[in-house]
Amino acid sequence: MTAADLASRVLAGEHRAAARLITLIESGDPAAGPLLAELFPHTGRAMVVGVTGPPGAGKSTLAEKLVLSWRQQDRTVAVLAVDPSSPFTGGALLGDRIRLASLSSDPGVYVRSMASRAHLGGLAEAAPAAVRVLDAMGADVVVVETVGVGQSEVAIAGTADCTVLVTMPGGGDGVQAMKAGILEIGDVFVVNKADRDGALRTQRELNAMLRMTERTPRPAVLLTQADAGEGVDNLVKHIDEFLAAARESGQLATRRLAHLEREALELIGVQARRHTLQALDPAAMAGFSQALRERRIDPATVATRALALADFRS
């Protein structure tokens, strides 16, 4: 399989081609850029659902059951499972996907793990591009499950059409993890492990907190017991209803445009940083380091001077 025909193979629905292209994206291979540009006009059809929440809430189990429910409706599903990675080595623990991997024998399901590489926000930097590859591949639904890193998971709202926030009963700890920005990004809330004591109390607390945000319409707070599959079909129904209403009102198109604009701005920053570092010679870098060590100039001044040295016209 050559890079030249990779895009056409992705459009033909080949899982191997999608896997190879996502690998190119993750590794920062320059060949990925033109391929993504070729695929872009063929994207925007898939329903992108984010599944996020604090650690231990049962996100992987719930994601598995959601996939099974959509498959019963004969919808094709792709799962992008973002795992934590070491901030020192960049290595990831991808073994926490045994349940999801068990779905890969179904030709209508594609599962891909991706290391976050310590990227803030619970998502890998390459995740939005990977989602578009899965969209172009023909998936009806793309599920993005993020690492459980608490309040920094707001990044999922910049990728998903619908964000499902998952918590569980447990002395209010789950609710405490859903404050401020986290509470505002959820489109559907789920109290998982609803067979445990305190599930109804947690549901009431979340409803009370959502009333304080004055969101209209107020997001649903649902109960599920994912390991038994209870409440999952109802969750799928609410996700579908949310997306249908968003599409009808035009909010879905507005949200997707905002996602793309945000990603473009972030990539401007990434490319400017890369270009600047490549343009600076070792002597300039050493000079900046020495100035910082002696506290003669602050980091902001270093950034300003480094950008001035880099010629962005080339």
Residue 28: pLDDT band (50, 70, 90) is: confident
Q: Is 210 helix (H, G, I), strand (E, B) or coil?
A: helix
pTM over the 0.75 mark: yes
Q: What's the pLDDT at 92?
A: 41
Q: In sequence order, which residues have a C-beta less than 8 Å from that of residue 71 and are 6 or more positions away?
A: 77, 106, 108, 109
Residue 152: pLDDT band (50, 70, 90) is: very low
pLDDT at 4 over 50: yes
Residue 119: pLDDT band (50, 70, 90) is: very low
Average pLDDT over residues 137-144: 97
Domain 43-249: what homologous superfamily? P-loop containing nucleotide triphosphate hydrolases (3.40.50.300)
Whether the bond into 128 is cis, omega within 30 of 0: no
**Cα–Cα dist 190/198, whole Å:** 14
Domain ranges of the chain: 1-42, 43-249, 261-309
Q: What's the pLDDT at 267?
A: 86
What is the DSSP annotation of 231-275? THHHHHHHHHHHHHHHHHHTHHHHHHHHHHHHHHHHHHHHHHHHH
What is the average pLDDT score of the chain?
84
Q: In sequence order, which residues have a C-beta less than 8 Å from that of residue 189 and are 6 or more positions away?
A: 164, 165, 167, 178, 206, 210, 219, 220, 221, 222
pLDDT at 271 over 50: yes
Q: What's the pLDDT at 53?
A: 85
pLDDT at 300 over 90: yes
Q: Residues of the chain with pLDDT > 70: what percent?
A: 81
Backbone angles phi, psi at 223, to 5 degrees: -105, 135
pLDDT at 297 over 60: yes
